[in-house]
Amino acid sequence: MPAKKLIAANWKMNGSRALIETVSQQLTTLNSEVDVLICPPATLLAYFPVSGHYSLGAQDISEHAEGAYTGELSGGLIKEAGASFVLAGHSERRQYHAESDQLICAKIQQAVTAGLTPVLCIGETLAERQQENTEQVIAKQLAAVYASHPELLAKSVIAYEPVWAIGTGESASPEQAQETHAFIRRQLAEYDSKAAVNVRILYGGSVNAANCQALFTQADIDGALVGGASLKPAEFMQICQSAKD
């Protein structure tokens, strides 16, 4: 298993320079036992002070390297803004922007080419879980990226985020999350046995200070992708502290 857990904050379309100041100052009190990633809106990336206490990520990336694509951000532009990670395939992008598995694969390829670490987000809807199709959905989402491009696997982070738990206040139980994370790791092993050991698999879906500790004790959960709670500096710090305890 990876040596250190990774706690990633997805600010979504929220944040401010004041929040940056508060969060960046608080994170200086963390030691090196946990890795922290902040993914703010792209317009805020350049306002973060350079720090060894956290990394920065973008929330999306273009499938194009450059060109006449108004409003898009290439991997090169994201990296120049100070980011070293990028989210790809978040459920909100899949839902609201109709992003396909094929498009997400292209975005991950662009991220790796630019020297960024992609965080591939996967997960099932409530209907898919109720139909007991969780594993089939996840296997399909993973295969879209790795079946034809297994070399991308070792350069990625996986974030399992059950769609029914995102922003709803409902979280998968630690046992449910562990069962799915273990399945993901088995799937990864089919593409690259070494990467399956080293790739970090995060849980995302209404993670907060109250439920994170139980999640982090599970064998195959290597950290968290935190949404709403990441906008509350004190609570986010609690989550980070729990990851290293």
Residues designated as active site: 90, 161
* Residue in the block written with tokens 């990028």: 86
- Give CA–CA dist 118/149, Å, rounded: 14
- Give CA–CA dist 208/230, Å, rounded: 9
User: CA 146 → CA 140, 158, 214, distances in Å?
Assistant: 10, 12, 30
- Give CA–CA dist 82/237, Å, rounded: 22
Under a CB-based contact definition with an 8 Å cutoff, are residues 19 and 38 in contact?
no
Helix-helix angle 233-244:17-27, to 10 degrees:
30
- Give CA–CA dist 18/161, Å, rounded: 28
